[in-house]
Amino acid sequence: MSVTKPLTGAQATAEAMRQINPDVVVAYPITPQTPVVEFFSEFVANGIVDTETIPVESEHSAMSATVGAAAAGARAMCATSSQGLALMWEVVAATPGLRLPIVMPVVNRALSAPINIHCDHSDSMGAATIGWMQIFSENAQEAYENMFLALKIAEHPDVLLPAMVLQDGFITSHGVENVKVLGDGIVKAFVGDRNPDRYLLDVKHPYTIGPLALPDYYFEIKRQQEEAMINAKRVYLEVGNELSRLTGNKYPYFEEYRTDGAEAVIVVLSSAAGTAKDVVDELRNEGKKVGLIKPILFRPFPYKEMREALVKFAVVGVLDRSMSFGSYDPLYADIRNSLFESERKPKLQSYVFGLGGRDIFKSEIRQVFNELLSGNLDSEHHKYIGLRG
């Protein structure tokens, strides 16, 4: 049913896009996203897909053309990173209000200045509050499967919201892994066709999309958008169950790794979770009660489920790969928020690591666990991992 191929994360994403065979793909280069659109363009050039592509002149136009195509009735995609996401931000922010189910792979990269092409999460975290679903991937396999998951949720009639599928720049996007690739026919049957009930090319039923809404209506429209986000949380699990039947993998809101009976737990997104799992294994072998939580669905954030998971632990360390200057770091803020309703709260510590692609080492994660277990914590201030001076 599936074959195993050595693929980079970027290639795995392009492979998923090949199997989805969207009507329109819009391409613009930015490291480390570039190979996604390059691999896909190669499929087009060799007739492997019959998608129409638009090689635009900027990311602003990339998102604009994608929205134009989606409003016209197409299943349309583009992909980006960092400065590209920042440049298209205006249109990214406008998309959820139009209720267009666009799926956009985002390969996480640090934001300027200083300019830096390597991984951190400051690009997508800046866009975490504007109405896109965000699904994080630890590795190429997840980056591949999350494309199907995101597409089906986005296009669900109870949702109709855009989704970003995130993977770590270079670490995932350029690292080769063995990826289990589903059969083309299986994917085709799973994703089906996009069947919008209203679209511009349906000229017999003219419709206006993107009007001006004044104070008498804007608020209600935004409220509907939030309802859709709430629905997305439910639909995520439903679609995840369907996809499970094809891949054999599970699609929870977050992954709990060896948390049974754990005292100290680390919460961390994406590729660093892979490294942290290794450390958890080592420490468990040494008899230490440690575990890991890897959030996957970041928007909508599963506060209740996260709370129910976290209250079992004595101490939780949250590792953010970006900062939210002047406030609690983004992942930490959500974890902290999720505990408000709980009588019993674990002790919390916020950490920042890996900005601009700085590596995080197992020894550092081990030290974090030791610190968490030692109880020398300050929930109001973050600590830095791997920072000089």
Partner 1 sequence: MATIQEIVSRETPLAPGHRMCAGCGISPIVNTVVAASDKPVIIANATSCLEVTTTIYPFSAWKIPWVHLTFENAAAVASGIETAYKSLKKRGKITDDVNILAFGGDGGTYDIGFQALSGALERGHKFMYVVYDNEGYMNTGNQRSGATPFGASTTTVPAGTHSFGKPQWRKNIVEIAAAHRIPFTAQAAVHNLLDLYNKAKKGFGADGPAFMAVLQPCTTNWHYDSELTIAYSRLASETNFWPLYEVENGKVHINYKPKERKPIEEFLKGQRRFKHLFKPENKHVIEEMQKMIDEEWERLLQLEAAQVRF
Site for partner 1, rule CB under 8 A? 23-24, 26, 50-58, 60-61, 64-74, 76, 90-91, 94, 98, 193, 200-204, 206-214, 217, 221
User: Measured between alpha carbons, how far is residue 367 from residues 78, 89, 279, 322, 373 in Å?
Assistant: 40, 38, 10, 20, 10
- CB closer to partner 1, 51 vs 324: 51
- β-partners of residue 181 are 3
- Is 169 in contact with 154 (CB distance < 8 Å)? no
55 or 375: whose CB is closer to partner 1? 55
d(CA 219, CA 137): 33
Whether residue 194 contacts residue 159, with contact meaning beta carbons closer than 8 Å, is answered with no
Q: Rank residues 220 and 380 by Cβ distance to partner 1 and give the closer one.
A: 220
Phi, psi of 122, deg, nearest 5: -65, -25
Choice between 53 and 259, CB closer to partner 1: 53
Smallest separation (angstroms) from partner 1 to the CB of 347: 46
Distance in Å, CB of 294 to partner 1, minimum = 35
User: Measured from the CB atom, is 51 or 270 closer to partner 1?
Assistant: 51
Nearest approach, Cβ of 27 to partner 1 (angstroms)?
A: 12
Q: Name the minimum Å distance from CB 254 to partner 1.
A: 34
Cis peptide before 32 (omega within 30 of 0): yes
- Between 132 and 301, whose beta carbon lies closer to partner 1? 132
Residue 216 vs 343, nearer CB to partner 1: 216
CB of 283 to partner 1, least distance (A): 50
The DSSP annotation for 290-322 comes to EEEEEE-EEES--HHHHHHHHTT-SEEEEEESS
Contact 75, 194 (CB under 8 A): yes
Q: Are 345 and 377 in contact (CB under 8 A)?
A: no
Would you list the DSSP string of 15-84? HHHHHH--SEEEE---TTTHHHHHHHHHHHHTTS---EEEE-SSHHHHHHHHHHHHHHT--EEE-B-HHH
| In the complex, least distance from residue 56 CB atom to partner 1, rounded to whole angstroms | 6
Instruction: Give the type of residue at 348.
Output: L
Q: Which of residues 76 and 306 has its CB atom nearest to partner 1 in the complex? A: 76
Nearer to partner 1, 209 or 339 (CB): 209
DSSP secondary structure of 328-353: --HHHHHHHHHTTT-SS--EEEEEE-
Residue with tokens 């090689």: 55
Instruction: Report in angstroms how near the CB of residue 37 gets to partner 1 at its nearest.
Output: 15
CB count within 10 Å of CB 247 equals: 19
Residue 353's contacts (CB-CB under 8 Å, 6 or more residues apart) are 272, 319, 320, 321, 360, 364, 384, 385, 386
- Evaluate the omega torsion of the peptide bond into residue 252 and state whether it is cis, within 30 degrees of 0: no
Least distance between partner 1 and beta carbon 5 (Å):
27
Nearest approach, Cβ of residue 69 and partner 1 (Å): 4
Helix (H, G, I), strand (E, B) or coil at 103: strand
In the complex, least distance from residue 309 CB atom to partner 1, rounded to whole angstroms: 40
Nearer to partner 1, 58 or 367 (CB): 58
